[in-house]
Amino acid sequence: MAIRDLFQAELRVVNIGLPMFKQSLDRCGVRAIEVDWRPPIEVDTQALAAIAAAAGVIERANEKAVEAILGGKPVLIGMAQAIDAVPGMTRDTILHAGPPIAWDRMCGPMRGGVIGALLYEGMAATPQEAETLAASGAIRFSPCHEHQAVGPMAGIVSPSMPVFIVRNEDRGNLAYATVNEGLGKVLRYGAYGPEITARLRWMEQALYPALARAIEKLGRIDLKNIIAQALHMGDEVHNRNRAATSLLFRQLAPSIVRTTPGSEQAAQVLEFLNGNDHFFLNLSMAASKATLDAARGIAGSSVVVAMARNGTDFGIQLAGTGNTWFTGPAPVPDALYFPGFTKDHANPDIGDSSITETNGLGGFAIAASPAIVQFVGGAASDALRYTRQMYEITIAENNVYQIPALDFRGSPTAIDVRKVIERNILPVIDTGVAHKEPGIGQVGAGIVAAPAKPFEDALLGLARALALGAAPSPTQETL
Amino acid sequence: MAIRDLFQAELRVVNIGLPMFKQSLDRCGVRAIEVDWRPPIEVDTQALAAIAAAAGVIERANEKAVEAILGGKPVLIGMAQAIDAVPGMTRDTILHAGPPIAWDRMCGPMRGGVIGALLYEGMAATPQEAETLAASGAIRFSPCHEHQAVGPMAGIVSPSMPVFIVRNEDRGNLAYATVNEGLGKVLRYGAYGPEITARLRWMEQALYPALARAIEKLGRIDLKNIIAQALHMGDEVHNRNRAATSLLFRQLAPSIVRTTPGSEQAAQVLEFLNGNDHFFLNLSMAASKATLDAARGIAGSSVVVAMARNGTDFGIQLAGTGNTWFTGPAPVPDALYFPGFTKDHANPDIGDSSITETNGLGGFAIAASPAIVQFVGGAASDALRYTRQMYEITIAENNVYQIPALDFRGSPTAIDVRKVIERNILPVIDTGVAHKEPGIGQVGAGIVAAPAKPFEDALLGLARALALGAAPSPTQETL
C-alpha cells in the first residue's frame, strides 16, 4: 500500500507500548488495538541452561526462602540513636539508600541529604563546608541495606538520628529505620538548611524520647498485624500509609500521654504524628527489611531479597548470591507530575522503599489501594491488573497480607528472578518522585517498572554461584 | 413426566429465591441455574395512575430533595446532656429507635434498654421496678427521629445521656446522637444492670466532659470529610467504622490531651475510644440524619428521608408526606450468626442505623467495604453487586461519597419510592443482629432487604398527598 493510500483509507491502528497513545486515539474515535509488547529480555543461553539444570536445587532453596518470608513476624520493640544501635555505624559514617555509591556519582537529592545530615551533626557549619567534607573522603558512605537498615528516598542515616528497632520474632534478626519527617522541605528529598536542622533536632530531643518511652511501656507493637489491617483499609503501605499511620497512632496515643511529662509536649507529639499520613512508611519498610533479611544467604535460591535505588543505580540482591548487588541505571519514572513539574524535573528512581514491593506490598499489593492509583493517574481496574501481573513473577501468596478486591487472596510474595526473565515481566514499584535538584521535594508519584538489567545480571550471578558449587549445600548462613 | 421418572433422570434444578440452595447443589455437583425472582410488589392501580400523572410535580420536588441531600454539610459542633439539648426531651421521656411504639409491643432488646435507662436515671432501683414504671404509662416513649435524633439498635436516649450535636452547615438544622458504648453487654443491645449503669455514669462524668472540651477547643469537626475518607479506607460507616473512628481519634487526641486535667484521665478517654472501632457509628448516623432532615417537607417528593426499625416494625418516611410513618413488620435477618446462635435467637431488625443507607452509605456503599462482606458471609463481588443494584432505586450519585472499587463513582443516593416499587428492588441494609432476649447482645451480622409493605404504603400515601392538593405547591416547610 502506498503511503498516500494509507491516509485515504479509514485509519486502523495497532499500538505497541505506552497505552496512553491508544487512549488519545480512543478519544478521537479512531479504531485502535493495544498490544502489550515489551522488548525481550536476553540472557546468555549457557547461564539459562545452568539455571535449568539446577532446577531441583533452586526449588528446595526457594522453599526455604518462602518459609522465612511468610514466617516473618516483624514487631516494633524500641528506639535508639543510630550510633548506639545500627551495626557498623560510626561517627564518620553516613548511610544512604540503594546500592553502594561514592559522592561523585550521587544524585542531587542524595547530596542534599548528606549536606543536611552533616549540618545537623554539627560536622559542617555551612552547606559549602559540608560539600567539601563530603567530597574529601573523610566521610564513609555505606548503603543502609548493609547495616540492617532502610531509608526512604535519599535514605540518609547519620549517627545522631533516632531509629526504630524492629525485631523479626520468627528468627530474631533486627532491622532499623529512621523516623519519617513529614512532607514538604525534608531531608529525604534532599532539603537542607536551618528549618530542616531545627526539625531534626526537635525530633531527636522531643519526639524521640516521647516515642521511645511510649513504645517501651507498650513492650511491643505488632507491625505485621497493622500492615494486614491497613491492606483492608486502602493502604498498600508504600505510597499510601494513612490507615496504618492511624492504627499506629491509636495504639501509641494513650501510652504517649501516660509517659510524656507535660500535656503540651504530649499534644505536640500527637500533632506531629497526626500531621503526617506517611509516618508509618518507615516502619512498613523496616518490617519488610526484617522479614526479607531472614531469607538471605540461602545458597541456590533465586528469590529477590532486596530492590533498592540510590537515585543513580537500581540494585537488587538475591537470597542465593550473598551480599552481591546487581545493578543497572535507575529509570526516570513516567509519573503523574504535580502542577508545574514535568519528567524533565524528575530525579531517577530513588529510595529503599521498594523493599515493600520485594515483600509483596506497595505496587505488588496496589489492588488493595485504589485511591493510590487515582493519585498516580489510573483507574481501579489498573490496580487489579498490576497486582494480578505480579502473581506471575512470584512464587508464594502471603498468608497474612490480603487483597480485599481479589476476594482476600494473599498478596504476591517472593519474586523469583527466573520468572522475571522467563515471563519478561518486571516488578512494578509504586513510588514518589523527587526533584533532581536537592531540597525541592516531591514532584510527582507513579507506577514504575524496575529496569531489566539488574535481573539479567542477577540470573547470571546465580548461575555463577551454582557453578561454583555453592548450590549443592543450600545451608542457611547466619543472618 | 411421572414423578418416578424425574428421579431416575439426571437432576437439573432451576432455583428460585435464596441463592444458598443453589450453592448447596453446586457443592454436590448437581447442575442448577439461579433465577433472581422476587414476589411482585402489588400496588393499587389508581394510586399508580395518580403518581404517573403527577410525574412533573414529583420530578421538580425530587430535584429539591436531591439538592438538599447532596448539599448537606454535617459537622460535629459540640455535646450536651439530652435534657439540655434535644427538642422535646423531658425528665419523663425516653426516646427509642424506629417508628412509634408502645411498651406492650416493644421487643426484648428495646425493653431491656428502657429498663437500663431507668436504672441509670435513678428512676427505678431494680429491673422489676423499672418494668412496672415503664408499663404504668408514666413514661413518655417517643421515636428519636421525631426529636432530630437517631440511636443504634434499641436507640435509647434518656434525659441525662450526653449527646453529640451535629449541625448541617448547609441549612442550619441540628441532629443528635448518643455516644457509642462499645461492644459486649451494652444498653443498645438491651443489657442492663450494675455494669451497664457504671459505664453510663463514667461516660457521663468522665468521657463526656473530656470530649465536650476537646470538641469545643477544635470548634468543629467535618464529618462529611471523615466519611468521604473512610469510604476510601474500607468503611461503609454502618457495620464497619474502623477507619472513620481512627480518623476522628487522630483529630480529637491532641485536643483531649490539652484540655483534660490529668494525663491518666486523658489516657483513659483515649483508651476507651481506641477500644471501640464502632465509636464513629453514632456520628455517621447523626451526620446522615442532619443531611436527610434538610429534605423533609418537600411536598410531592417521592424521596425516602428515613428508614428506621424498632425491632417490631420497620418504618419509612418520605420527603413529600410530612411526619407520617409507613410501617410493616420488621424482618428477621438472614445473617451470618456467631457460633452458638441461629436465626431462632435473632430479634427482628432493629435500630435507626438504616439512616446511613437512606443517605447512600452502609449497605448502599458496601462495595467500598469488602471486609464487611467477608464478615457477613460473602465475596467482594457480592459487595459490588449490592451497590450496583442500589443505583437502580436511587436518583442521584453522591458528589463527595465515592466508591473506590467502582472507579470512584458517587454512592447511590436519594431512594425514590417509585423506583423501589417499579423495579421491585428493596433497599439493602448492612446490619448487626441483636439477640431477642434483652442483654445478650449481638448474635450476628448480615445484609437484610427492607420489607416491601412500608414502600407500598408510602407510594399510596404520596398519591393521597398529591390528591389532597399538596402537590401543586411544592414549597419547603420549615425544618
Mean pLDDT (whole number) for A412-420 = 98
Write the pLDDT tens digit of every residue in B382-405: 899 999 999 999 999 999 999 999
- The domain boundary, picked from B253, B286, B319, lies at B286
pLDDT above 70 covers what percent of chain B?
89
Asked if residue B370 and residue B312 are part of one domain, the reply reads: yes
**Cα of B250 to nearest chain A Cα, Å:** 6
Rounded distance between C-alpha atoms, residue A127 and residue A125, angstroms: 7
Asked if residue B455 and residue B403 are part of one domain, the reply reads: yes
pLDDT averaged over every residue in chain B: 92
Rounded distance between C-alpha atoms, residue B14 and residue B31, angstroms: 9
Q: Which domain holds residue B16?
A: 3-35
Asked if residue A31 and residue A119 are part of one domain, the reply reads: no
Return the pLDDT at B475. Answer: 40
Return the pLDDT at A472. Answer: 42
A370 touches chain B (CB under 8 A): yes
Write the pLDDT tens digit of every residue in B251-272: 999 999 999 999 999 999 999 9
Minimum CA–CA partner of B256 in chain A: A267
Asked if residue A205 and residue A81 are part of one domain, the reply reads: yes
> Residue B292 falls within a domain, yes or no?
no
Mean pLDDT (whole number) for B442-469 = 92
Of A246, A264, A380, the CB nearest to B246: A246
Of B235, B267, B380, the CB nearest to A254: B267
Minimum CA–CA partner of B273 in chain A: A250
Asked if residue A140 and residue A9 are part of one domain, the reply reads: no
pLDDT above 90 covers what percent of chain A?
80
Asked if residue A125 and residue A199 are part of one domain, the reply reads: yes
Taking the alpha carbons at both ends of chain A, their separation in whole angstroms is 65
Mean pLDDT (whole number) for A363-372 = 93
Q: Which is more confident, B96 or A431?
A: B96
pLDDT exceeds cutoff 50 at B73: yes
Count of domains for chain A: 3
Chain A segment 185-244 residues within 8 A of B by beta carbon are 229, 232-235, 242-243
Rounded distance between C-alpha atoms, residue B394 and residue B417, angstroms: 9
Return the pLDDT at A380. Answer: 85
> Residue A302 falls within a domain, yes or no?
yes
Mean pLDDT (whole number) for A314-328 = 98
Buried b / exposed e over B273-285, threshold 16 CB at 10 Å, is bbebbbbbbbbbb
pLDDT exceeds cutoff 60 at A471: no
Chain B residues lying within 8 Å of A242, measured CB to CB: 229, 233
> Residue A240 falls within a domain, yes or no?
yes
Return the pLDDT at B316. Answer: 98
Most confident of A24-33, B312-321, B430-439: B312-321
pLDDT exceeds cutoff 90 at A468: no
CA nearest to A447, candidates A459, A432, A436 = A432
The CATH number that applies at residue B382 is 3.90.1700.10
> Residue A475 falls within a domain, yes or no?
no
Model's pTM, two decimal places? Answer: 0.90
Of B254, B264, B371, the CB nearest to A270: B254
pLDDT exceeds cutoff 90 at B25: no
Asked if residue A250 and residue A211 are part of one domain, the reply reads: yes
Q: Is the dihedral of CA B7, B12, B16, B18 positive or negative?
A: positive
pLDDT exceeds cutoff 90 at B21: no
Return the pLDDT at B438. Answer: 84
pLDDT exceeds cutoff 80 at A325: yes
Complex ipTM value = 0.88
Chain A residues lying within 8 Å of B273, measured CB to CB: 250
Split at pLDDT 50, 70, 90, the class of B478 is very low
Return the pLDDT at A442. Answer: 87
What is the enclosing helix (H) or strand (E) of B417? helix B417-423
Return the pLDDT at B163. Answer: 98
Write the pLDDT tens digit of every residue in B208-241: 999 999 999 999 999 999 999 999 999 999 999 9
pLDDT exceeds cutoff 80 at A303: yes
Split at pLDDT 50, 70, 90, the class of B472 is very low
Residue type, B376: V
pLDDT averaged over every residue in chain A: 92
> Residue A171 falls within a domain, yes or no?
yes
Residue type, A144: C
The CATH number that applies at residue B132 is 3.90.1710.10
**Cα of B368 to nearest chain A Cα, Å:** 10
Chain B residues lying within 8 Å of A279, measured CB to CB: none
Chain A residues lying within 8 Å of B274, measured CB to CB: 250-251, 253-254
Contact B258 A253 (CB under 8 A): no
Chain A residues lying within 8 Å of B258, measured CB to CB: 263-264, 267
Of A232, A254, A274, the CB nearest to B271: A254
> Residue B125 falls within a domain, yes or no?
yes
pLDDT exceeds cutoff 60 at B135: yes
Return the pLDDT at B474. Answer: 38
pLDDT above 70 covers what percent of chain A?
89
Rounded distance between C-alpha atoms, residue B165 and residue B81, angstroms: 10
Rounded distance between C-alpha atoms, residue A221 and residue A214, angstroms: 11
Q: Which is more confident, B408 or A334?
A: B408
Asked if residue B450 and residue B352 are part of one domain, the reply reads: yes
Candidates B241, B250, B279, partner chain A, best to mutate (most A CBs within 10 A): B250
**Cα of A268 to nearest chain B Cα, Å:** 7
A253 touches chain B (CB under 8 A): yes
Asked if residue A350 and residue A242 are part of one domain, the reply reads: no
pLDDT exceeds cutoff 80 at B19: no
> Residue A320 falls within a domain, yes or no?
yes
Return the pLDDT at B473. Answer: 42
Contact B234 A243 (CB under 8 A): yes
Inter-axis angle of helices A194-202 and A108-120, nearest 10: 60
pLDDT exceeds cutoff 90 at A476: no
pLDDT exceeds cutoff 60 at A281: yes
Contact A270 B247 (CB under 8 A): no
Return the pLDDT at B441. Answer: 83
Asked if residue B137 and residue B153 are part of one domain, the reply reads: yes
Mean pLDDT (whole number) for A458-479 = 68
Minimum CA–CA partner of A276 in chain B: B250
User: DSSP secondary-structure letter at B428?
Assistant: E
Contact B254 A263 (CB under 8 A): no
B332 touches chain A (CB under 8 A): no
**Cα of B226 to nearest chain A Cα, Å:** 13
**Cα of B38 to nearest chain A Cα, Å:** 28
Rounded distance between C-alpha atoms, residue A245 and residue A247, angstroms: 6
Asked if residue A85 and residue A64 are part of one domain, the reply reads: no
CA distances from B453 to A59, A399, B328, B406, B426 (A): 63, 46, 5, 31, 10
B258 touches chain A (CB under 8 A): yes
**Cα of A401 to nearest chain B Cα, Å:** 13
CA distances from B466 to B51, B245, B300 (A): 8, 43, 6
Return the pLDDT at B81. Answer: 98
**Cα of A391 to nearest chain B Cα, Å:** 19
Return the pLDDT at B43. Answer: 77
Mean pLDDT (whole number) for A200-205 = 98
Mean pLDDT (whole number) for B457-479 = 69
pLDDT exceeds cutoff 70 at B14: no
A275 touches chain B (CB under 8 A): no
Most confident of A107-121, A176-190, A371-385, B183-197: A107-121
Asked if residue A179 and residue A117 are part of one domain, the reply reads: yes
Return the pLDDT at B6. Answer: 57
Return the pLDDT at B468. Answer: 80
CA nearest to A236, candidates A342, A350, A360 = A360
DSSP line for A253-286: HHHHHHHSSSHHHHHHHHHHHHT-TTTTHHHHHH
A247 touches chain B (CB under 8 A): yes
**Cα of B86 to nearest chain A Cα, Å:** 31
Return the pLDDT at B310. Answer: 98
Return the pLDDT at B28. Answer: 65
